[in-house]
Amino acid sequence: MISDTVKDIISPCLWGAAVRLLDLEADKFLIIERLLEHGGDRQIEFVLSNYEYADIIRVVRESSYLSSKTVNYWCLFFNLKRENTRCFQKQYRHLSPPF
C-alpha cells in the first residue's frame, strides 16, 4: 500500500493509473518511467532516493515511452552511450508491406 505522502508525489505523473493500487517494487518500471518523463524536482528526488541506479538505468535503456530529450539527459547523468538505449537505436522499415 502506498502512503499518502508517496501518493502525493507520484500521482501527478501517473494520471492514467490507479495509484493507490500500485506497488512501489512490483511497478517500479512504470513509476520510474513516468516520473523521469513528467516529473519535477520532487519526483526526480523521489526516484533517486527510492530506487537503485541499476533500476533507473534499465528504464533509460529499455523504455519506449521516454522522449529522446529525457533519455539524452539521463545518459549524460549516468555516463551511458545513447546508442545503447532503445530510444536512439536505428529502426528499420520494411521496403514492402509483409503479405
Domain boundaries, given as residue ranges, for the chain: 4-84
Residue 83 identity (one-letter amino acid): E
The reported pTM is 0.86
pLDDT digits (tens, 9 = 90+) for 35-72: 999 999 999 999 999 999 999 999 999 999 999 999 99
Residues whose CB is less than 8 angstroms from the CB of residue 39 and which lie 6 or more positions away in sequence, other chains included: 12, 13, 46, 47
Average pLDDT over residues 2-21: 89
Element of type H or E holding 88: none
Burial class (CB in 10 A: 0-12, 13-18, 19+), 53: exposed
Indicate if the pLDDT at residue 84 is higher than 60.
Answer: yes
Classify 51 as helix, strand or coil. Answer: coil
